[in-house]
Chain A
Amino acid sequence: MTRTRFALTGTSEQDTKLTTTSSRGEGGTVMRIIVPLQGVVQGRGGLFLGSVIPCALFYFLQLYLKRHRSAPSTPPPPPKDAAASSYQPSSSEGQLPEVSVLSRSFSRIHPSPKSPGGPAYVSSRVNLVLKGGDSPYDIGLRKVSEDPYHEAGNPDGVIQLGLAENKLSLDLVRDWLAENAREAMLGGGRNGEELNIDGIASYQPFDGLMELKVAVAEFMSQVMEKAVSFNPSQIVLTAGATPAIEILSFCLADTGNAFLVPTPYYPCFDRDVKWRTGVEIIPVPCRSGDNFSLSITALDRAFNQAKKRGTKVRGIIISNPSNPVGNLLNRETLYGLLDFAREKNIHIVSNEIFAGSTHGNKEFVSMAEIIDLEDFDRNRVHIVYGLSKDLSLPGFRVGVIYSFNENVLAAAKKLTRFSSISAPSQRLLISMLSDTKFIQQFIDINRGRLRGMYVKFVAGLKQLGIECIKSNGGFYCWADMRGLIRSYSEKGELELWDKLLNVAKVNVTPGSSCHCIEPGWFRFCFTTLTQKDIPVVMERIRKISETCKYPS
Chain B
Amino acid sequence: MATEIEQPASAHVGLSKVAVSDTHGEDSPYFAGWKAYDENPYDELSNPSGVIQMGLAENQVSFDLLEEYLEKHAEASSWGKGVSGFRENALFQDYHGLQSFRKAMASFMEQIRGGSAKFDPERVVLTAGATAANELLTFILADPGDALLVPTPYYPGLDRDLRWRTGVKIVPIHCHSSNNFQITPQALEAAYNDAEAMNIKVRGVLITNPSNPLGATIQRSTLEEILDFVTRKNIHLVSDEIYSGSVFSSSEFISVAEVLEARQYKDSERVHIVYSLSKDLGLPGFRVGTIYSYNDKVVATARRMSSFTLISSQTQHLLASMLSDKKFTENYIKTNRERLRKRYEMIIEGLRSSGIECLKGNAGLFCWMNLSPLLQNQTREGELALWNPMLHEVKLNISPGSSCHCSEPGWFRVCFANMSEQALQVALKRIHNFMEQIRERDGNLVISSQ
User: Footprint of B on A, CB under 8 Å?
Assistant: 80, 84, 87, 89-97, 99, 107, 113-114, 116, 118-126, 129-130, 132-133, 145, 165, 167, 170-171, 173-174, 177-178, 181-182, 185-186, 189, 194-198, 200-204, 231, 233-234, 239-240, 242-243, 246, 250-255, 257, 271-272, 275-278, 314, 342, 345-347, 375, 377-380, 388, 392-397, 404-408, 411, 414-415, 417-425, 428
Contacts and interface: CB of A to CB of B under 8 A. Distances in A.
Contacts of B328: none
Nearest to B119: A92
B215 to A, nearest CB: 20
Contacts of B309: 239, 243, 418-419
Contacts of B415: none
Contacts, number: 309
Contacts of A121: 141, 203, 234-235
B284 A239 contact: no
B305 A422 contact: no
B15 A408 contact: yes
A388 B79 CA distance: 18
B93 A203 contact: no
B144 interface: yes
A74 B91 CA distance: 45
Given A271-B307, A420-B128, A395 B285 contact: no
B313 A396 contact: yes
A346 B295 CA distance: 41
Contacts of B86: 170, 174, 177-178
A414 B235 contact: no
A485 B2 CA distance: 51
Contacts of B203: 120-121, 123
A394 to B, nearest CB: 4
A233 B90 contact: no
B257 to A, nearest CB: 9
Interface residues of B, number: 102
The residue in B26, B91, B267, B268 that gathers the most chain A C-beta atoms within 10 A of its C-beta is B91
Nearest to A133: B304
Given A126-B297, A240-B93, A424 B315 contact: yes
B354 to A, nearest CB: 29
Contacts of A254: 16-18
Interface of B: 1-2, 5, 7, 10-20, 24, 26, 56, 58, 60, 63, 66-67, 70-71, 74, 77-79, 83, 86-87, 89-94, 118-120, 122-123, 128-129, 131-132, 135, 139-144, 146, 161, 165-167, 203-204, 230-236, 261, 265-270, 282-288, 294-301, 304-305, 307-315, 318
19 contacts: A80-B143, A120-B141, A194-B67, A195-B67, A201-B286, A202-B58, A202-B60, A203-B285, A231-B2, A251-B15, A253-B16, A272-B308, A276-B165, A345-B11, A392-B90, A397-B311, A414-B26, A422-B287, A422-B312
Q: Which 7 A-B pairs give the minimum distances between C-beta atoms?
A: A116-B234, A395-B313, A423-B285, A411-B19, A422-B312, A425-B312, A251-B19
Most buried by B among A182, A204, A419: A419
B106 to A, nearest CB: 9
Contacts of B14: 314, 345
A546 B315 CA distance: 48
B301 A126 contact: yes
A397 B310 contact: yes
A185 B297 contact: no
A130 B301 contact: yes
A378 B12 CA distance: 10
Contacts of A394: 90-93
Contacts of A242: 307-308
A178 B15 CA distance: 45
A168 to B, nearest CB: 12
A434 to B, nearest CB: 18
B2 A404 contact: yes
Contacts of B63: 197-198, 201
A199 to B, nearest CB: 8
Contacts of B165: 250, 276-277, 415, 418
A185 B318 CA distance: 11
Contacts of A347: 13
B235 A120 contact: yes
A198 B60 CA distance: 9
B270 A231 contact: no
A203 B38 CA distance: 13
Given A186-B70, A251-B15, A419-B128, A130 B287 contact: no
A276 B301 CA distance: 12
B310 A240 contact: yes
Q: Which of B16, B18, B118 has the most CB of A within 10 A?
A: B16
A346 B285 contact: no
A346 B13 contact: yes
Given A347-B13, A388-B93, A250 B18 contact: yes
A205 B331 CA distance: 31
A379 B12 contact: yes
A122 B118 contact: no
A122 B89 contact: no
Given A129-B305, A415-B165, A407 B1 contact: no
A275 B439 CA distance: 58
Contacts of B56: 203
A233 B1 contact: yes
Contacts of A178: 78-79, 86
A266 to B, nearest CB: 13
Nearest to B83: A174
B57 to A, nearest CB: 10
A345 B305 contact: no
Nearest to A396: B312
A255 B19 CA distance: 12
Contacts of B19: 250-252, 407-408, 411
A129 B304 contact: yes
A96 B123 contact: yes
B135 to A, nearest CB: 6
Contact of A125 (B5, B67, B282, B301): B301
A380 B71 CA distance: 48
Given A92-B118, A170-B91, A404-B2, A276 B311 contact: no
B14 to A, nearest CB: 8
Contacts of B318: 424
Given A90-B296, A397-B310, 5 more contacts: A90-B123, A186-B77, A250-B18, A395-B93, A417-B131
Contact of A424 (B16, B308, B314): B314
Contact of A177 (B58, B79, B141, B266): B79
B1 A234 contact: yes
Contacts of A252: 15-16, 19
Contacts of B266: 89
